[in-house]
Chain A
Amino acid sequence: MKKYSTKMILKACAFSIAALSTSAPSVLADETCQSPYMAKITGQEDFVYVWTLGMEGLGDEQDKLVTVGANPNRADFGKVINTLSVGGRNEAHHSGFTDDRKYLWAGGLDTNKIFIFDVHTDPAKPKLTKVITDFVSKSGGVVGPHTTYALPGRMMITGLSNNKDHGGRTALVEYSNKGDYIATNWTPTDSNLGGAAKTGKYADGYGYDVRVLPRRNAMFTSSFTGWTNYMMDFGKMLADPEAMKHFGNTVVQWDLHARQPKKVFDVPGAPLEIRCAWGANHNYCFTTTALTSKIWLIYEDSQGHWQTKEVADIGDPSKIPLPVDISIQSDDNMLWVNTFMDGMTRAFDISDPFNPKQVFEQKIGSQVNMVSSSWDGKRLYYSSSLLANWDKKGKDNEQYLKLFSWDGKKLTEQFSIDFIKEKLGRAHQMRFGAYSLYASK
C-alpha cells in the first residue's frame, strides 16, 4: 500500500476517548459529526466519497459512489478519480463508516438496499463487497435505511418508514459489521411507548437521525416523514394538506445501553440532523427543524434530566428556508446550518448553546444540502441534492460538489465539480477517506 506524508493520525487505541475528552484537537467538524467510535482523519483528507443519486436521462442513470481527489498536493485534487455504479436508483442518501473505518455503508431510502463498500484495501478505488437486500424483511417491516451510525462492532441504522402504509412510523435497526441483522427497536408510539414518558402531546413513532452520548448513556433520535412524502414531488407534497400532516414532531431520548426509549419530546416541524457537543461537560446536542426553521437544544438540566428547548430561528421561518444539514465544530463554538431553498450556508455562534447567534451567511448555489467539514474546520465541502424528487427543477437543479476554505471570516471556493456536466447525477452525502488511515508500511 502506498504511503503519503500527511499529518493524519490514526488514534488507534485512544480515538474513542475523543468523545470524552477536552484534550481532543481543538477544532473538529464533520469528522466528529460521525460516530465517536471510529478512527478520525486529523489532517488533510485525500478523498471525498460522494454518495450520488442516479438521474433519469443523465449518464448511466443509476446511483454511484463517486470518489473525488481532495488533497491539494496531489494532481487529482478536485477531480473525479473513480465512480462505482451500483445499479438502480435507490434514493441514495446517507452513508457512514463502520467503527474500524474499513467499510462505508450507504443506504437507499427507496429500495431499502444498503451498499457496503470496502474503502480500506484501496482508498482511491472503493469496492462494493456486499449489498444488504433483506433490510425490510429482517427488520420486521422497516423501510428507508437512513443514518448508518457506527457502534462497537455494529451499525445502528435509522429507518424512516414502514412497509405497511409507507408512513412515518418506524424503528432503529441494528446490523453487525458483517452485515447480519441483529435487532429492531421501534420508536415509541401512543399505543406502545416502550416504557418511555410522553412529555408533551406527541408520540408519533417517526424517525430520522441518531446520535449518542455514551458518557451519559444517552441516544437521541429525531423524526422526519415516511416514504410517501420523502419520495413525493416536493411541490406536489407542499400543496397537499393531507401529506403535510405527516411529518415528525418528536425527539426521543433512549437508554443507549439498554436500547430502551426514556422520553419523547415535542419538537414540532420535522427535526432532522442531530449533532452533539464534544466538551467533557457539554451534555447537549442540537437539532434543526426542517419545516419550522428552528434550532433546538437537547440538554441535560442541573437535575440530570434531559430537556428540549427552541433556541433560535434560522432565516425567516415564514418563508420555509428549509434547514437541512448541520455541522458542529469540536470546540462547540460554531454550528454550520444549510438552508435548501435559498441555497445558503449560515454559521451560528453557539458558545452559549441557549442563545445561538448567526454570525455569517453565504449563498453556495441555487440549492444546497450537505456540509462536511475537515477535522480542523478549515475546509468545508458542500453538495447539492436533498432528495431526488425534492430537488429544484429546471435550471435551478444545480448538482455539485464544492470545496471552500474557511479562514474564520470568509469562505473561498477552492474547486467545484458540476455533477450534471460530468454525467454523474445528484450529489448527496460526503465522507472523507485517507491513505494514512490504513497505511501500515
Chain B
Amino acid sequence: MKIILSFLIAGAIYSSGLRADSAILAPGYSPLAFEAPKAGSYALSVIGQAANGSVLTVEGREVQLFDLMSDKVVLLSFIYSTCSDVNGCPLATAVFHKINSRLQKDPEIAKKIRLLTLSFNPEHDTPEAMNHYAEGFRNSIVDWQFLTTRSEKQLRPILDKYQQSIQKVYDKQGQFTGTFSHILRVYLIDTKRQLRNIYSVSFLHADTLINDIKTLLNEVENVRVQKNQKINNELVFQAGDNKQQYQKKDYQTKAIAVTDRIGRPADLLGNIQNPQTGLPYISVPKNNPISAEKIALGRKLFYDRRLSLNNTFSCAMCHIPEQGFSSNEMATAVGIEGRSVRRNSPTIYNIAYAELLFHDGRESTLEQQVWAPLLAHNEMGNPSVGYVVDKIKSLPDYQGLFEQSFAAQPNMLNIGQAIASYERGLNSADSPFDRWHFGMQQGAVPAAVKKGYQLFTGKAGCSSCHTIDSNYALFSDNRLHNTGIGYRESMGIPASTQKVQIAPGVFVDVDMKDLASVSEPKISDLGRYEITQNPQDRWKYKTPTLRNISLTAPYMHNGSLSTLADVLMFYNQGGVKNEGLDPLIKPLHLSKKEISDVVDFLKSLTGSNVNRLVSDAYSAPIGDHN
C-alpha cells in the first residue's frame, strides 16, 4: 500500500500493479485539464448540515467531529488504509497531500483549513494503524488529522449521516475479503458546519478544492456583489417571452429573466374610487363594499396556485398580468392536467364595467363568476365549493385574513367577493386616445390615430358595437353578436393540411390525418345558444372591450386571429356569411392605409397605468405548495 501511494504521489501515471479497470488515473493525479474557475468568482451553495459523531485520534483520544469543525474550513474524506483501488481512497489521500504541499507556501490559508481523513474500517484501522498511515503526510502548517472509530457500531451513524455508501466485499465462500466497495466522497465543510461541496472521483482535484476553500474564506465580499443587482427597466412589465416577429427567419429573442419580475403594490382602491380619464364611475355591489383589505386578500387568492385540485392553477395562470391579464401564448386556454378549454382567455382589464361575463355572457356578477373556473373540470378542477373553502381555511397564511376583511371565516360568498374586489381594481385608461379625445390634448396622438378614430366611428362602423360615449368609452355595448367566426369553426370544411411553424421562419404543412392521430375530438362551441337554447343565438359572442387591446393577442373568442391587422381584414371582408350574421357585419371596403390607421388607433388605447398594475401583480405572492 505504501509503495503504491508514494508512487502515485510522486506523480507517476501508470502502475502495472493496478487493476486493469483502473488503468486510467483520475484527474486528481494529473494537472487539471481545464482552467479552474477563479476563487471567489462563483458561489458554493449550502448543501446541508455536517454531521457529528465520536471518532478516535491517532493518539486514541475520543473527540467529536464537531470539535474539529467551526474554527476552520474542513475537508473530510472517508478511506480505509488498505484500499488498493488507485482511484479510490489513495486518490483522496493523494489530493489531500497535494493541497497540504501546495499550502506550505500559503500559510495564511493553511492555518484556516483542516484536513480530516477518517477510516471506515475500524477493525483494521486502529489509531496505531492510522498513525502509521499518516507518516509522511504531517507537517506543522496544515492541520491534517487521521481519524478512526472505536467500532463499526460507532462508525455506522456517521456513515449514514454523510450518506457514505460502504459495502464489504465477500468471496464466493462468503468470507470478507478485506476490501470494500464504496463511493469515493470528499466533503467541504464551512465554519458554520455546513456542507458546501461534495467531490467524487471525477471532481477531486487539488486546484479546484483550493479554489473552493478560498471561495469560502472570501465569501462575505462575494455575496454583496450579487445582491447589488437592481432591475429598473420598464420592459419587465411586458410579456417576458415575447415572440413577435417569430415568423421571420431573422427573429431574435428579447427574453426577460423570470427573476426580473419584481414589482410593488399599487393603490388599487384609489384606482376604483377615482377612475382614470376615459372611464366612468365604477358601480360596486351594495353587499360587497370595496376596501383595501378585500383587494389585498383578493389579490392573494388570484395568484394562489393552491386554489386548484393539484396546486398547479391560479386565476393568473390564464390571466397573466404581463400578457394583458390574458394569455398571449395560446389561442384557446388549457386548464388543469392540460385539459382543453374551448375559448381564449379574456382580459380582465376593466372587467368592473362588464355587464355580462364569459364570452357567452352567462354570468352577470364577478362575485358569482369566480366560482365557474374554480369548479370547472377543465380549468382549476376543484371537486366542490366545500373543498375550496376548507382548503383555504387550512392554509396557515390565510389565518385571520378573511376575518379582517369580512368579519367571517372563508365561505363561498366572501371568497368570490374578495377576488371580485381585486379584479375591480384592474381598470385602466388615460390612454393616448383618452388624453386626446377626453382630455383635449391635441398632441397626445399622431395624425394616423385621429384618422383611425374617424374610420372607427365612421366608415368602418366599429363603434356601433365597441361604443364610445360622450364622457367615457368602454368600447363595448355589452351585447352579443354573430360575426361568423364561430360559424366558420363549427361548420367550415377543414383544409387537408395544417401549416405548422417548427422554428423561427420555418414552416411545414402537416397532413390533417397525422394531426388527427394526436388530437382529441374538438368540442363544439355554439356561443350564446348554449345559454338560451334559441337558434337565433347560435355563434353569438360578447363584444369585448378594446382597451389595452394591443396587449391581449391573439384575438376573437377562439383566439384564431393573431394580430389586430388580421382582425381588421376579417371585418373588412364582412366576417363570414351565415344565416345569423349580425346585420352590422358587412364588407367595409377599407384600404390598406385605412386598415393601418384603425390599427394605430387601437394601439392608442393602452392605459397609462398598465405598468403600475402589472408591477402590483408582481408584488403579489404566488401561492405554491410548501
Contact = CB atoms under 8 A, between A and B. Distances in A.
Contact of A232 (B200, B340, B517, B562): B340
Contacts of B519: 233-236, 239, 393
A392 B518 contact: yes
Given A17-B201, A111-B312, 13 more contacts: A15-B201, A17-B202, A136-B625, A154-B198, A169-B257, A191-B256, A232-B330, A232-B338, A232-B340, A239-B500, A240-B330, A291-B503, A390-B518
Interface of A: 10-17, 19-24, 36-37, 39, 88-91, 99-100, 102, 110-112, 133-134, 136-137, 140-141, 143, 152-154, 162-171, 174, 176-178, 180, 182-183, 186, 189-192, 201-205, 214-217, 226-228, 230-247, 249, 255, 257-260, 268-269, 280, 289, 291-292, 317-320, 341, 388-394, 396, 438, 440-441
Nearest to A366: B517
Main SS at interface, chain B: loop
10 contacts: A16-B201, A17-B21, A17-B22, A17-B201, A134-B624, A165-B329, A231-B337, A240-B332, A258-B37, A319-B510
Given A13-B184, A233-B520, A215 B33 contact: yes
Nearest to A218: B34
A231 B330 contact: no
B437 interface: no
B112 interface: no
Contacts of B518: 233-235, 238, 341, 390-393
Contacts of A88: 310
Nearest to B19: A14
A182 B504 CA distance: 36
A238 B500 contact: yes
Nearest to A133: B625
Contacts of B259: 140, 186, 192
B241 A164 contact: no
A204 B506 contact: no
Task: Classify chain B's interface size.
Answer: 35 or more
Max count, chain A CB within 10 A of own CB: residue among B33, B180, B504? B504
B443 interface: no
Interface string B519-549: 1101000000000000000000000000000
B412 interface: no
Max count, chain B CB within 10 A of own CB: residue among A201, A245, A260? A245
Contacts of A186: 257-259
Contacts of B208: 257
B622 A141 contact: yes
A238 B87 contact: no
Interface of B: 19-27, 33-34, 36-37, 41-43, 45-48, 83, 85, 87-89, 163, 165, 167-170, 174, 180-185, 187, 195, 198-203, 208, 233, 235-236, 239-241, 243, 246, 250-261, 305, 310-312, 317, 320, 322-323, 327-332, 334, 337-338, 340, 498, 500-504, 506, 508-511, 514-520, 522, 553-554, 559, 562, 622, 624-626
Nearest to A202: B253
A235 B310 CA distance: 24
B515 A204 contact: no
A292 B48 contact: no
Max count, chain A CB within 10 A of own CB: residue among B181, B198, B520, B553? B181
Nearest to A264: B253
Max count, chain A CB within 10 A of own CB: residue among B515, B517, B625? B517
Contacts of A12: 85, 88, 167, 169, 180-183
A269 B241 contact: no
Main SS at interface, chain A: loop
A171 B257 CA distance: 10
A198 to B, nearest CB: 8
A191 B255 contact: yes
Contact of B41 (A180, A216, A258, A268): A258
Contacts of B21: 11, 14, 17, 21, 23-24
A333 B108 CA distance: 51
B287 to A, nearest CB: 34
Given A12-B85, A186-B257, A388 B202 contact: no
Contacts of A260: 37, 41-42
A205 B168 CA distance: 46
Contacts of B236: 191
B503 A176 contact: no
A288 B257 CA distance: 26
Contact of A393 (B163, B255, B517): B517
A16 B200 contact: yes
Given A99-B183, A110-B312, A152-B185, A14 B201 contact: yes
B626 A134 contact: yes
A39 B166 CA distance: 12
Contact of A244 (B41, B83, B233, B501): B501
Nearest to A90: B310
Contacts of A245: 243, 246, 329, 501
Contacts of B243: 242, 245-246
Contacts of A141: 258, 622, 624
Contacts of A238: 498, 500, 510, 515, 518
Contacts of A178: 48, 163
Contacts of A227: 312
B88 A13 contact: yes
A247 B21 CA distance: 43
Contact of A13 (B41, B181, B515): B181
Given A152-B198, A216-B33, A292 B503 contact: yes
B378 to A, nearest CB: 11
B241 A165 contact: yes
B24 A22 contact: yes
Contacts of A191: 233, 235-236, 255-257, 260
Contact of A19 (B202, B311, B520): B202
Nearest to B35: A217
A164 B261 contact: yes
Contacts of A15: 201
B48 A190 contact: no
A209 to B, nearest CB: 18
B34 A23 contact: no
A162 B503 contact: no
Contacts of A230: 338
A178 B50 CA distance: 12
